[in-house]
Structure 1
């Protein structure tokens, strides 16, 4: 790595400072309606001038399935190895276009670049169209080019499967490879057979060509960053798509009948369902983690550090049945559930009170229906969705027990949410792999089923719930993490950083510290729930500190969400007098960022939108236009673009000066740890 610093903990330069922005959010005069790999070089110029030495990106892997905004989330990759064609810079290819096509290209480019947000469908369709025309012009010579042939040869462990997947996706017009008759699982024989067909081989070679160009452009951007002493930090999503190349090629490595997600947290009161299969870790470990090692080594071609998304998933993952839409019916996996004998030992007469029928099936009586839906809707709900089973009890009709079915019904949204709540009105959840083990339903104390029990039983259930989530499994999860993480993080020289937000087991910090994996500190999301905000003065060195993330509101949005919170921060954290200003002013923004820069965290990474708020010349009026993702909105489109081209940003001397001043007058300038 051609840098003037050692990007390692306790290195010659101890403290590093950077900015975070997705590639798709960048903007330059070269673009075709979206940020692209070549824009990273312009961003590096900006960082260099401002005294920053790190750029953090979101995942850059291919997510293309529908060629619409449904593909816009960078966390729904169809391949953990392939780069996204949408980040291809077309400018080096336009020399292959004829005069009429070039004119159309320039007009389309101008229209798309003038949009404030990405027209995803138009961008990906256009890029593939013009790249295909360039390929047609060069393919005869390309297939004999030594550099191209070497690129393809060196990536045989993923590239043929990826290209074949895309061909079959186009052929069958569905990503569901379970319906690809005769092609339900990848094999080398399938690739070689299809490659004999002229149409298929032409399509496959085009996929090779795209990946070849993308590799060159990202590597060029990485090398340029290094020449300026700037490191690149990538992002490794915890999961892969259910219908991805990886699941098609290696189905044994995944639990395809399960979904990964997260229990209720600050982002969602009903939990998160990422609709991604969970890992079959025993099968992965049997291969000495080869798939994971290949993934990391591929990433290390371009990046110096990586953010390990949801590192808690390497301790345990929140596993949700494939029939669920929301996350409340999940349980941690692996986890030590309770046996019936244990439950009864603690004083709950499980079997004599109805066993599974009472504790794991939805508890539904007339008064429960009234409470959820209101008395006026009771008869309608019973008639349409429930069966009476005697003793004043009801069950949900078989055809409506699947939340995915409820999601598609054309019904009032309040009724849909009530039906979800009915399916979730349980006390225990059977282990997804071992039906003899039982897990307390997350936040079971909030269920109507729990409310029906007497005080003593409620106390016992509450204790079992808290013991399960905060004590019983901690050492077990620590063992599971040590079975996986050492092999992965030592497979490359990249600096490992973990995203350890959420319901964090007490053993996570000690594991991360022992393995020298940097933790994440978001000031407004303290690791200690009793704190108002994260105490920046007491951060550990092995830490990434940030005021915001791509999943949170920006600083300016956060300040306006709750005036009481803003005032509390203004008075008791900043220790400034008087009423907190609304909207937030540049002085407050500067002080928040300065406090981060002066923290002991090895890395401080400030989202580019928060840096924009430092100076009037880069502050825009619409604070809501700068948010990247809202985890509570499953229909969120990831289409944010910065409001000014990078070429123009490089001329914003006031902003650059303000960042540079902070970089050189705070702990960020130190070369050694004190």
Structure 2
């Protein structure tokens, strides 16, 4: 048995909010002043945990679960105001309709100004960052430079010498794209520097950062391009089998995610070095790391690549015990949480419990009429995290309003016919749970209904763009949650 992390030494509560969902004037939330203001709001109300979605460099669809790198941060989260404060931007360029491209142009200008204006210490800090992160940063920066050069097409469509990483082709590419590589390394330094400043501020306010690590990586990513041997691919780098989940609560056809599956035999040969490096990157960012789709460490749903849905797949064992043993040998403490939703077998539970990793209880999944449903509060355990819903659920108010009158009556009956309306009634239920950590999506804290969902699983349009506004928060909400956090022993 491995010890639990000190974050679960007492009852706590937090809010789930992606950084990109913060308010602000520049197209998406970022590490600017609104992020610090959100930390202040958490601390004032008594919350001590900020859970974010993955912070990785996304593709065009903005999904933080399909990123261009398992290590690199999303440049669109970099604070432009921070660059102005340091004199590397005189002022952001005039905003355009394409906010993402506008941000990229601002970062390119900041890099040129940095080259001309940076002090010696700042240049040394950048050089130190590049050296310390070379094991992933060199491949990532070259990958992004080449991807831009080829019109952002996937790496499998690149000229064969670069697709297959022939040494001469890589050497020539690093020379011809040196300027772009320097800029992308600069952007990652900005990302990690700004995030660490925000993280330090949060800790000063008594707030822990709780992140999310997708178990799989995107096929079109620097990781797969640079480490093809770690994945199940054919000679041209194409997936032979892909990841997903069988039919479940979210989809009758299951979910065909399309991620390449791991070549576990290869990974075991070097003691899971790829995973150790990946975990190191996560621990640089977060105090607590949720492993998304934890059950994939016990067995993965393997779908033949030619299948268009996830129905015709099979469970293939994964070496979760060997992997977690290796990680525990290399890190003094692993502050992990398991996203153990979906089809969970006794073997998955045994893997989770072997390392005392807290699991999740989502209240929106609790009310099927079965008193033994593990998500019902009377079935929770202390070493777990209670949620009203997650980023994949609709808001609690919208969920409740979509239920039949009979199911609504069942929910209200279970909750003891509370005076509080939805979603406050379910939020209070989560806070009252014996689970040591309770997490509320920001939409539920703001009492938001239909139209404010973060993501609909199995779809690629209209997701990841939700943002809140400060005028949606009033003093009464801060006071109410502060009272409840104190009442249920969760106030920081």
Q: TM-score, normalised by structure 1?
A: 0.67
Q: For each residue in 1:157-216, what CA deviation from the matched residue of structure 2 results, as whole angstroms up to 9, or x when unmatched?
A: 01111111111112222432223221013467655433333xx11111110111111111
Partners of 1:540 and 1:10 in 2: CA distance: 12
Structure-1 residue corresponding to 2:126: 148
Do 2:400 and 2:422's aligned partners in 1 also have CA atoms closer than 8 Å? no
Q: Within the alignment, does 1:283 sit opposite 2:283 as a pair?
A: no
Q: Within the alignment, does 1:638 sit opposite 2:478 as a pair?
A: no
Partners of 2:284 and 2:363 in 1: CA distance: 32
Residue 594 of structure 1 and its aligned partner are, at CA, apart by: 2.0
- Choose which of 397, 402, 406 in structure 2 pairs with 1:561: 402
Q: Within the alignment, does 1:15 sit opposite 2:15 as a pair?
A: no
Residues 333-412 of structure 1: matches in 2 within 5 Å?
A: 333-334=316-317
SS of match in other structure, 1:62: coil
CA 1:141–1:156: 2 relative to 1, 3 Å? farther
Do 2:372 and 2:379's aligned partners in 1 also have CA atoms closer than 8 Å? no
Structure-1 residue corresponding to 2:236: none
Q: Within the alignment, does 1:35 sit opposite 2:67 as a pair?
A: no
Structure-2 residue corresponding to 1:131: 107
SS of match in other structure, 1:559: helix
Q: For each residue in 1:491-511, what CA deviation from the matched residue of structure 2 results, as whole angstroms up to 9, or x when unmatched?
A: 443421011111111222232
Partners of 1:489 and 1:189 in 2: CA distance: 39
Q: For each residue in 1:565-602, what CA deviation from the matched residue of structure 2 results, as whole angstroms up to 9, or x when unmatched?
A: 1111112x02329xxxxxxx853433322221121112
CA 1:527–1:191: 2 relative to 1, 3 Å? farther
Q: How many residues get paired?
A: 474
SS of match in other structure, 1:269: coil
Q: Within the alignment, does 1:542 sit opposite 2:364 as a pair?
A: no
Partners of 1:527 and 1:301 in 2: CA distance: 38
Q: Within the alignment, does 1:50 sit opposite 2:33 as a pair?
A: no
Q: Which runs of 5+ in 1 are unaligned?
A: 1-5, 65-69, 113-118, 335-476, 578-584, 614-618
Residues 437-448 of structure 1: matches in 2 within 5 Å?
A: none
Q: For each residue in 1:8-43, what CA deviation from the matched residue of structure 2 results, as whole angstroms up to 9, or x when unmatched?
A: 2662xx111100011111113xx4111112343221
Do 1:546 and 1:596's aligned partners in 2 also have CA atoms closer than 8 Å? yes
Structure-1 residue corresponding to 2:61: 71
Do 1:143 and 1:149's aligned partners in 2 also have CA atoms closer than 8 Å? no
Q: For each residue in 1:418-453, what CA deviation from the matched residue of structure 2 results, as whole angstroms up to 9, or x when unmatched?
A: xxxxxxxxxxxxxxxxxxxxxxxxxxxxxxxxxxxx
Structure with bigger gyration radius = 1
- Choose which of 351, 371, 378 in structure 2 pairs with 1:511: 351
CA 1:535–1:625: 2 relative to 1, 3 Å? same
SS of match in other structure, 2:241: strand
Partners of 1:53 and 1:299 in 2: CA distance: 20
- Choose which of 599, 607, 611 in structure 1 pairs with 2:445: 611
Partners of 1:160 and 1:553 in 2: CA distance: 39
Residues 657-668 of structure 1: matches in 2 within 5 Å?
A: 657-668=479-490
Q: Which runs of 5+ in 2 are unaligned?
A: 233-238
Structure-1 residue corresponding to 2:235: none
Runs of 4+ residues deviating >6 angstroms = none
Residue 532 of structure 1 and its aligned partner are, at CA, apart by: 8.0
SS of match in other structure, 1:604: strand
CA 1:655–1:666: 2 relative to 1, 3 Å? same
Structure-1 residue corresponding to 2:80: 90
CA 1:587–1:637: 2 relative to 1, 3 Å? closer
SS of match in other structure, 1:196: helix
Structure-2 residue corresponding to 1:61: 56
Do 1:260 and 1:274's aligned partners in 2 also have CA atoms closer than 8 Å? yes
Q: TM-score, normalised by structure 2?
A: 0.90
CA 1:103–1:286: 2 relative to 1, 3 Å? closer
Q: Within the alignment, does 1:224 sit opposite 2:201 as a pair?
A: yes
Structure-2 residue corresponding to 1:524: 364
Partners of 1:265 and 1:297 in 2: CA distance: 33
CA 1:103–1:609: 2 relative to 1, 3 Å? closer
- Once superposed, what is the RMSD of the aligned Cα atoms? 2.4
- Choose which of 322, 326, 331 in structure 2 pairs with 1:487: 326
